[in-house]
Amino acid sequence: MSADTVPVAEWGPVTGWGRTAPTAARLIRPRTYEEAAAAVRGCGVRGGIARGLGRAYGDAAQNAGGAVLDMTGLDRIHAIDADGGTVLCDAGVSLHRLMEVLLPLGWFVPVTPGTRYVTVGGAIGADIHGKNHHVCGSFARHVLSLELLTADGGVRTVERGTPLFDATAGGMGLTGVILTATVRLQPVETALMSVDTERAADLDDLMARLSATDHRYRYSVAWIDLLARGAATGRAVLTRGDHAPLDALDARARREPLAFRTSRLPAAPAFLPEGLLSRTSVGLFNEFWYRRAPRARRGQLQRISTFFHPLDGVPHWNRIYGRGGFVQYQFVVGHGREETLRRIVRRISARRCPSFLAVLKRFGRADAGWLSFPMPGWTLALDVPAGLPGLGAFLDELDEQVAAAGGRVYLAKDSRLRPELLASMYPRLDDFRALRAELDPRGVFTSDLSRRLAL
């Protein structure tokens, strides 16, 4: 096939996982690197942006009136170093596929978010984090090098520690199209997790437990009840664990200790009634979820899919919010800014936001990505129906409190941040803009997110 052959394109609506702001774009599905290069050269005046499996909640992988490159057709695993613990793969390979291939060899992905249906390219572009950030950092920390298709249609090998690498890690696809990556892996003895679970009575109790004992665990996360009020404000279920060693398994499980098993429930209906997730229904769910959790349980063995990705067992779970979709709001504030976190949790509780997917984690040291989200401190993520009255103004108020505390919101989940707050949240923003202007002076790589925030 000629290098100038552009793959077939079709117009269609594109939206993020939150399903809040669909825009029409020219969808292009390259099957070779040459097709991807041709698509970049021919993407037109509205530019283009790469897209993986569509798990970014907001508008980062949308491009109204322009091109969107679906990279999932480039999904080859090129080489596995089973001794050294690295994998070289295409950017369109999913974490799910890596787990299928690598777990039987005794290796696991270094970082996984709450879904395994994320591509390696998307993991780098959003510099994803997981339950182990306090120990292992974000995904890009484990990327040794990558190949980047730039605006001129050329391909650059980008090594970690260079300015282009740091702009690409967390750069939301705006420095170019990631084609391949070499990733360092995590050794494991089994495909099971040893999990400790306990209840925390309120937010202060939760933060005290996390601060005192998080260093003992590789993975740590707390589900938090944001509808609880009074003395129970911020009550939570804390879940922490590590990869189970072989000697923790019984004789039956030891027969296939590295088998990757998942479960699957029926898909959510295509459409659900608006208002299904009301304060009453979510309040009842939260009460049930908190009460059913053990006060303290140690060493329970769970599947990897159960511990890391429970919602992946429900296909299209994002439909449960109805036609209007939902907003996932995630912010981080630094250590020493706990009062800001307390104030925001109290405001959400008083506002009675019907959120049943709310998690609190502690971040460790920040990584080098100029637009990478994590910083040392506390991060809270919550889902709320997009149609909640007054939601925009309420989240604007929270943005201002986060920015005043030196914190930031997560661009991979954002769909509504005001651009004037961006520079205070991301101190390397000017460096990112300058490198991008030098690398891509015509603005070939463009998204709804980049237009909205003038990235």
Instruction: Tell me the per-residue pLDDT of 306-324, one tens digit each, with 9 for 90 and over.
Output: 999 999 998 889 888 888 8
Strand order in the sheet with 192-200: 296-303, 192-200, 236-243, 219-224, 358-363, 377-385, 326-334, 408-409
> Looking at residue 39, what is its pLDDT?
95
pLDDT band at 288 (very low <50, low <70, confident <90, very high): confident
pLDDT exceeds 50 at position 26: yes
β-strand pairing of 236-243 with 296-303:
unpaired
β-strand pairing of 67-70 with 23-28:
parallel
> Looking at residue 36, what is its pLDDT?
97
pTM: 0.95
> Looking at residue 1, what is its pLDDT?
40
Instruction: Tell me the per-residue pLDDT of 387-411, one tens digit each, with 9 for 90 and over.
Output: 999 999 999 999 999 999 999 999 9
Instruction: Tell me the per-residue pLDDT of 369-385, one tens digit each, with 9 for 90 and over.
Output: 999 999 999 999 999 99
Residue-wise over 399-423: b if at least 16 C-beta within 10 A, else e?
Answer: bebbbebbbbbbbbbbbbbeeebbe
From CA 3, how far away is CA 37, in angstroms rounded?
8
Number of helical H runs and strand E runs in the chain: 13, 19
> Looking at residue 241, what is its pLDDT?
97
What value does the mean pLDDT take over residues 58-86? 97
Q: Which two tokens stand for residue 210?
A: 């996390």
Please check whether residue 235 is in contact with residue 202, taking contact to mean a CB–CB distance below 8 angstroms. Answer: yes
> Looking at residue 355, what is its pLDDT?
87
> Looking at residue 370, what is its pLDDT?
98
pLDDT exceeds 50 at position 3: no
> Looking at residue 396, what is its pLDDT?
97
